[in-house]
């Protein structure tokens, strides 16, 4: 499902669960378990625990409970439609 929003319009990634598409809220917190027990917002640190420095490779969705690789939560906007890339004279473009 393609999403549009303020983040995508600025060229920043939209962050949402790759399984259920729920966006994390600012008040959400994840816990570094079983390591140090720190509570923090994982998307403010790119999945790195500020307490012990562990870089979590997966993140659990607080809505659906599924885990996904942390990087899959970041959905980057497409900057230009394909037809805009096919301009005359451009390498690989229309001639």
Give the pLDDT confidence score for residue 79 in this predicted structure: 66
Q: What is the 3-state secondary structure (H, E, C) of the chain?
A: CCCCCHHHHCCCCEECCCCCCCCCCCCCCEECCCCCCCEECHHHCCCECCCCCCECCEEECCCCCCEEEHHHHEECCCCCCHHHHCCCCCCCCCC
pLDDT 10s digits, 34-75: 999 999 999 999 999 999 999 999 999 999 999 999 999 999
Give the pLDDT confidence score for residue 11 in this predicted structure: 76
For residue 10, name the pLDDT band (cuts at 50, 70, 90).
low
Give the pLDDT confidence score for residue 12 in this predicted structure: 87
Mean pLDDT over residues 20-44, rounded?
97
Q: What is the pTM of this model?
A: 0.70
């Amino acid at each position: 499902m393609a999403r549009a929003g303020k983040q995508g319009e600025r060229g920043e990634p939209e962050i949402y669960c790759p399984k259920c598409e729920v966006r994390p809220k600012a008040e959400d917190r994840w816990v570094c378990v079983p390591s140090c027990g720190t509570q923090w917002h994982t998307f403010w640190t790119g999945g790195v625990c500020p307490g012990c420095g562990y870089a979590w490779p997966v993140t659990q969705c607080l809505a659906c409970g599924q885990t996904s690789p942390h990087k899959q939560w970041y959905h980057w906007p497409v900057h230009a439609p394909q037809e805009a890339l096919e301009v005359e004279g451009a390498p690989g473009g229309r001639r």
